[in-house]
Structure 1
Amino acid sequence: MFKKIYKEIKKYNTIVIARHIGVDPDALASQLALKESIKLTFPKKNVYAVGNGSSKFSYMGRLDKLEEFDNFLLIVLDTPDKKRIDYKDYSKARQTIKIDHHPFIEDFGGLEYIDDSASSTCEILMELLLNTKLKCNSEIAKLLYYGLVSDSNRFLFDSSTSKTFSLVSTYLSKYPLKLSSIYTNLYLRPLKEVRLEGYISLNMKVTENGVAYIILTNDIITKFKADSASAGNMINNFNFIDEVLVWIIVTEDVKNNNVRVNIRSRGPEINKIAEKYNGGGHAMASGARLSSIDEAEALISDIDYATENYIKKEMSKNENN
């Protein structure tokens, strides 16, 4: 499949690279890395990385403002379903390539490479570059490392496999990187965000089944001079609470007129519930979009019910062993 993807990239003079709404490091880094790789390999091609960005990730690079084009190749990264593509003109593409590490939801109608065992879309792109004539350099390797480290939560998730470490080893051997600066860019935070995280710790509620949750209204987010995206991205900072199996951060996003939900789990699978609420993702890490704060109660209730059933099943297994 990598050879087929390369063949399509070689064929088109204009290429648009898109990803999912709600930018995160893996989505953005994979976009920018693939763009730079194609430009390095084919300098005369017009390649655009599109979508709404975030100043939080400005250290990775800038996205492009796109004019309308005909006869272009669209490459969609890190996105399992069409409704989550952060590019309104995706249906105008002459050909579409989908590269993703989320569980399959729907066909995009073109070439598709999906590996839901991969830690990140950046991990898949590492393979793509190694198995085709697409070129790489230290800056591209750094972008790929940003995305892989972030989506694997610094190699803490089970999606970090021997293949993941082998690819990282290969790239670090070819392209020595200053890892300390990479981790500083990814995890250095302003004091206002640290204070908001403290507020979350003090005010989160925990159900009897071990579901921790907090609803951050726009007033709360504004009080700490933060934004909805940075508040939601704090979800991975609450991994290791002994009494908690699932944790949820609900944030009101006034700018985009919706409500973001970030969900993580150490027990029940949560992606099917997220899909019910205009979202999706991985079994243990998902997100959703609500039209109002009022919907959050139903989502939390569904997750709490799933967690209760998970606990019962685990107890039953232990009794039978």
Structure 2
Amino acid sequence: MKSNKFLNIVENYDTIAVFRHQNPDGDALGSQFGMVRWLQNRFPNKKVYALGENNHSFTLFPQSDDVELKGEFLAIILDTANQARIDDDRYELADQIIKIDHHPIVEDYGSLRIVDSTRGSCAEIIADLFINLDEYSFTEEIASYLLAGILTDTIRFSIETTSSKTLRTAANLVDYGANISKLNQELFTRPKAFFELRTRLSQEVVWKDKLAYIILSQDLLQELNLKEDEAKMFISIMADIIEVEIWALFIEQQDQSYRGSIRSRDITINTIARKYNGGGHRLASGVRDLTTLTLEEIIKELAKTSLS
């Protein structure tokens, strides 16, 4: 079983560095800190670090470790389909890599790969891995981090990859001390300023067939004092409109290229995303390095697809 292989590899290293993807979401962070705390509890004599930039707005999670990696170490890379998205290039110095992920396979990197794209989150996979290995190493903190990852990536159990297995895993985490009501409040409540900004951005929505999209220029980001990584969450503005089948948010980068997030109610969009330097899940994908021309092209293709 892969759980035993995972444990065997971990036992061979005194130093373990846990990585996740750039611009982390709740699943990346919940998976990372759940993994770090579990390893620290299970192996108190090992050095275990969480690596990556502290460029997120979640208050639930601690800061990443500022350390110098020396000698042999194991890299555990979470929630990251391809190596270009790994936050912190020092994973390249690792003697061995374990990959744990729930995205469709883009790159088969790592000597051990625990990948299941039918799962709603990476945190779900990790929670089941730990339960299979040693439920007694769980604490309320670990369970809370992992349930936070599940809640954010499944959008509170609302996406199509939410399964009975997802709900059973979440129930197990509640049994280990995670407070689902408290986590929902901490993860999803927003200040009044957020509501006001959301109202302002709703004026930027463009409607084309059954596609709705927003383009955020650098000028608009500066006008609204909005950071690029914070702007991504506003894709939800268009999520509950019954006439919309596909919705997207495109953000202009400092180099004048565009990065985009695309969502769909039931139309497959990751095949389109792969044509534009991106990819992801069937109904939730991302694209990057779009020029003004390719931005126009993908909008036309998404609009046409929204009618299918």
Q: Report the TM-score when normalising by structure 1.
A: 0.89
8 Å contact kept, 2:202–2:237: no
Q: Deviations over 1:264-319 (max 9, x none)?
A: 001321112222333221010111222555542222223223334xx1xxxxxxxx
Q: For residues 6-59 of structure 1, give each alpha carbon's deviation from its aligned partner in whole angstroms, at most 9, with x where no partner exists.
A: 111111111111111221000011001100110111111111111123341132
Q: Which deviates the most, 20-29 or 299-308?
A: 299-308
Counterpart residue identity of residue 133, structure 1: D
Q: Supply the AA of the counterpart residue of 2:86.
A: I
Aligned in 2, Cα 1:257/1:265: closer, same or farther, shift over 3 Å? Answer: same
For 1:12, the equivalent position in structure 2 comes to 13
Pick closer, same or farther for the CA change 1:304–1:223 going to 2, 3 Å. Answer: same
Q: Deviations 1:74-96 (Å, cap 9, x if unpaired)?
A: 11111111111112122221111
Shift of 1:136: 1.3
How far did 1:72 drift? 1.0
**SS state at 1:194 partner:** helix
Q: Which residue of 1 aligns with 2:269?
A: 270
Q: 1:302 to 1:55 in 2, by over 3 A?
A: same
2:233 corresponds to which letter in structure 1? N
1:163 lines up with 2:165 in the alignment? yes
Contact map agreement 2:148 2:183 (CA 8 A) in 1: yes
Identity %: 34
> How large is the RMSD of aligned CA atoms in angstroms?
1.9
Deviation at 1:129, TM superposition (A): 0.7
Task: For 2:236 and 2:70, locate their aligned partners in 1 and report how far apart those are by CA, in whole Å.
Answer: 39
Amino acid at match of 1:29: G
- Report if aligned partners of 1:18, 1:77 keep a CA contact under 8 Å in 2: yes
Look up the equivalent residue of 1:114 and give its one-letter code: V
Aligned-partner residue type, residue 98 of structure 1: K
- 1:206-236 Cα shifts (integer Å, max 9, x gaps): 112x111110112212222221112111223
User: Is residue 194 of structure 1 aligned with residue 195 of structure 2?
Assistant: yes
Are the equivalent residues in 1 in contact too, given 2:212–2:238 (CA < 8 A)?
no
Q: How many residues align?
A: 306
Structure 2 counterpart SS, 1:262: strand
Secondary structure of the corresponding residue to residue 264 of structure 1: strand
CA contact (8 A) 1:252 1:293 kept: no
Which residue matches 2:97? 96
1:218-258 per-residue CA deviation (whole Å, 9 max, x = no partner) reads 2212222221112111223432111111100112243x875
Question: What 5-or-longer segments of structure 1 have no aligned partner?
Answer: 312-321
Tell me which moved more, 158-167 or 132-141: 132-141
> Residues 84, 55 of structure 1: CA spacing in aligned structure 2 closer, same or farther, 3 A cutoff?
closer
1:126 pairs with 2:127: yes
Q: 1:276 and 1:20, CA in 2 relative to 1: closer, same or farther beyond 3 A?
A: farther
- The structure-2 alpha-carbon separation of the partners of 1:304 and 1:20, relative to structure 1 and needing over 3 Å to count, comes to same
Match of 2:302 in 1: 303
What's the secondary structure of 1:131's corresponding residue?
A: helix
